[in-house]
């Protein structure tokens, strides 16, 4: 019996640790050959040495399990680096089939305290990084589709956050970048559908090095790799990676332009925004007084703290 991703190749960005590592390992277990990208930070031994970069550690781990993997060290927020990353996948495995955008950083601060550099760095890595890899992957798929005279196989899984959905007061840069990724995803889904490519976005909740200051440690749980034995940390990245594997698979061919929240043995499909109310002007256009007469009573009856943000997603749990 063949594996669902057998014969396919994938890129996972930010895969040296945390979510990206779990996702790269999952894709490999499902049969994909994987390009493991990471920025090239010091190894996990804490020695400060960079000779064994995290990306190569994960690639070696995949190969040790019998899979196929190569590492790529570089900043995907750099346009040319993203081009070389896609070229590496194509030259090594013959083609690219799956792109998982995961790389990111945090620079948390309230909007009135945030520096320009803190804003720019987060938007650059998250939003520009997602665009860069998506651009070069889409060029590859479009060219393949034209050569084949029809659709090809392509899957994009992007990474947003509940910080965008629910609003996060201390993360205006992160929430804005993650909201931008949702817009990028839905636009990409429509643009590439005719080529056989799907694009979806997940909002994962996981305990990783990047979120160490967000989620308190839970020492009674292990950080193992096999969910299902009742001892896995509810915020372990391994709760997220199976969904990425599914969205990357042929089984998810009809899943496109979707946003899913995932953590702790739970997946929630988030509905697109709906129009709550509509008002028409009595004349050709609105006046201030007419808008006051229509909108002020409408908002008077709504909860004072209710905004476009969907804070209820933070309460989602399995069961």
- The mean pLDDT value of the chain amounts to 91
Q: Which distant-in-sequence residues (6+ apart) come within 8 Å of 150 by Cβ? A: 196
Cα 20 from Cα 240, distance rounded (Å) = 10
What's the pLDDT score for residue 41? Answer: 61
Q: For residue 34, which phi and psi values (nearest 5 degrees)? A: -125, 135
What's the pLDDT score for residue 213? Answer: 52
Closest-CA residue to 125 (of 96, 101, 99, 100): 101
For the stretch 19-52, what's the b/e string if a residue is b when 16 or more beta carbons lie within 10 angstroms of its beta carbon? bbbbbbbbbbbbbbbbbbbbbbeebeeeeeeeee
For the stretch 142-153, what's the b/e string if a residue is b when 16 or more beta carbons lie within 10 angstroms of its beta carbon? bebbeeeeeebb
Q: Global pTM?
A: 0.89
Q: Cβ-count burial of 192 within 10 angstroms (0-12 exposed, 13-18 middle, 19+ buried)?
A: buried
What's the pLDDT score for residue 306? Answer: 87
User: How far from chain centre, in Å, is Cα 61?
Assistant: 23
Q: What is the mean pLDDT of residues 154-162?
A: 98
Closest-CA residue to 85 (of 105, 55, 115): 55
Q: What is the mean pLDDT of residues 148-154?
A: 98
Q: What is the mean pLDDT of residues 253-264?
A: 97
Q: Which distant-in-sequence residues (6+ apart) come within 8 Å of 283 by Cβ? A: none
- The catalytic residues are 161, 174, 178
Cα 198 from Cα 14, distance rounded (Å) = 21
Q: For residue 143, which phi and psi values (nearest 5 degrees)? A: -65, -40
What's the pLDDT score for residue 105? Answer: 95
Cα 255 from Cα 3, distance rounded (Å) = 20
Q: What is the mean pLDDT of residues 27-46?
A: 82
Cα 124 from Cα 106, distance rounded (Å) = 11
* pLDDT, tens digit, 9 for 90 and up, residues 75-126: 999 999 999 999 999 999 999 999 999 999 999 999 999 999 999 999 999 9
* pLDDT, tens digit, 9 for 90 and up, residues 212-258: 455 455 545 444 445 445 577 788 999 999 999 999 999 999 999 99
Q: Is 299 helix (H, G, I), strand (E, B) or coil?
A: helix
* pLDDT, tens digit, 9 for 90 and up, residues 11-28: 999 999 999 999 999 999
What's the pLDDT score for residue 207? Answer: 81
Closest-CA residue to 12 (of 52, 64, 69): 69
Q: What is the mean pLDDT of residues 125-133?
A: 98
What's the pLDDT score for residue 208? Answer: 58
Question: What residues form DSSP beta bridges with 105?
Answer: none
Q: Cβ-count burial of 314 within 10 angstroms (0-12 exposed, 13-18 middle, 19+ buried)?
A: middle
What's the pLDDT score for residue 249? Answer: 98
């Amino acid at each position: 019996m063949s594996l669902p991703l057998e014969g396919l190749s994938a890129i996972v960005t930010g895969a040296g640790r945390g979510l990206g590592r779990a996702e790269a390992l999952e894709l490999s277990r499902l049969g994909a050959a994987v390009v493991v990208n990471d920025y090239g930070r010091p190894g996990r031994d804490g020695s400060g040495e960079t000779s064994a970069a995290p990306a190569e550690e994960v690639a070696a781990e995949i190969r040790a399990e019998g899979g196929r993997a190569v590492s790529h060290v570089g900043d995907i927020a750099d346009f040319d680096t993203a081009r070389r990353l896609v070229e590496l996948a194509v030259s090594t495995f013959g083609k690219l089939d799956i792109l998982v955008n995961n790389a990111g950083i945090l620079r948390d601060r309230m909007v009135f305290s945030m520096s320009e550099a803190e804003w720019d760095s987060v938007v650059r890595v998250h939003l520009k990084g997602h665009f860069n890899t998506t651009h070069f992957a889409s060029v590859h798929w479009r060219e393949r589709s034209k050569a084949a005279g029809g659709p090809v196989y392509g899957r994009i899984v992007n990474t947003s956050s509940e910080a965008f959905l629910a609003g996060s007061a201390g993360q205006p840069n992160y929430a804005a970048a993650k909201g931008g990724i949702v817009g990028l995803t839905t636009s990409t889904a429509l643009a590439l559908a005719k080529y056989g490519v799907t694009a979806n976005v997940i909002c994962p909740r996981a305990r990783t090095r990047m979120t160490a200051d967000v989620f308190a440690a839970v020492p009674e749980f292990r950080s193992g790799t096999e969910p299902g034995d009742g001892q896995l940390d509810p915020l372990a990245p391994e709760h997220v990676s199976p969904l990425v594997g599914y969205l990357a698979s042929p089984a998810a061919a009809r899943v496109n332009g979707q946003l899913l929240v995932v953590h702790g043995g739970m997946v929630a499909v988030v509905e697109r925004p709906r129009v709550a109310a509509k008002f028409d002007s009595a004349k050709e256009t609105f006046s201030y007084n007419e808008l006051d007469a229509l909108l002020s009573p409408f908002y008077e009856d709504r909860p004072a703290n209710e905004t476009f943000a969907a804070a209820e997603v933070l309460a989602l749990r399995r069961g």
